[in-house]
Amino acid sequence: MFNKKTQSIDEDYVKGEIAEVKGEDVDVVMDNQEEIADKIQSSNVLKKYTELGKVMIGMLKDYRNGIYSNVPWFTIAAIAFGLLYILNPFDLIPDFIPGIGYVDDFAVLTFSLRFIETDIHNYLDWKLDEGNKEEVEV
C-alpha cells in the first residue's frame, strides 16, 4: 500500500495513496485500532489528533457495521490510509528517528483530514441526531 517513490509528502501523494486503499485495509485498521490509538497518544507530534483519531475509528466501525453509510468511499479510504500510515513504523521517515520520526505521519494525517473535514462533521452531527451522543468520543 505504501509507495516510497516520492521523497516528500504533499497533497498529490496522499490523494494517490488514498486511491489505492482497499476494503481489506479498513479491516487492518480495525484489527489494530488500539495500537494506532496508543501511537497517536504517545507521540507529542500526533497527540493533538487523539480525539479525532477516536472519531475516525468510530466512523470506520459504524461504516463497517452498516450503521453509518452516508459517506463516500474516498472518506473511508482517507481515514484508513491516514491511520495505516501512522501504524507503519517504516514509512517515509521511520518512526524511531528521534525528533522527526512522526513528522511525516503528522503531514499525512493533516492532508487526509483536510480532504474529509466535512464528512467528519456530518458524521458527528449524525451521531448527535441519532441519540448516540454517549458514543461520540470528543
The three three-digit cell numbers of residue 136, written as one number: 461520540
Cell numbers 466512523 label which residue? 59
pLDDT tens digits for range 67-94: 999 999 999 999 999 999 888 876 667 6
Q: pTM for the full model?
A: 0.81
The three three-digit cell numbers of residue 91, written as one number: 514509512
pLDDT of residue 1: 47
Exposure b/e, 90-99, CB count within 10 A at least 16 = b? ebbeebeeee
- Judge whether 2 and 85 are in contact, CB under 8 Å: yes
Residue-range definition of the domain harbouring residue 65: 11-132
Look at residue 122 and tell me if it is in a domain: yes
Look at residue 137 and tell me if it is in a domain: no
Euclidean distance between CA atoms 7 and 27, whole angstroms: 28
Look at residue 3 and tell me if it is in a domain: no
The count of structural domains within the chain is 1
pLDDT tens digits for range 24-75: 999 999 999 999 998 888 888 788 888 999 999 999 999 999 999 999 999 9
Look at residue 70 and tell me if it is in a domain: yes
Euclidean distance between CA atoms 114 and 133, whole angstroms: 24
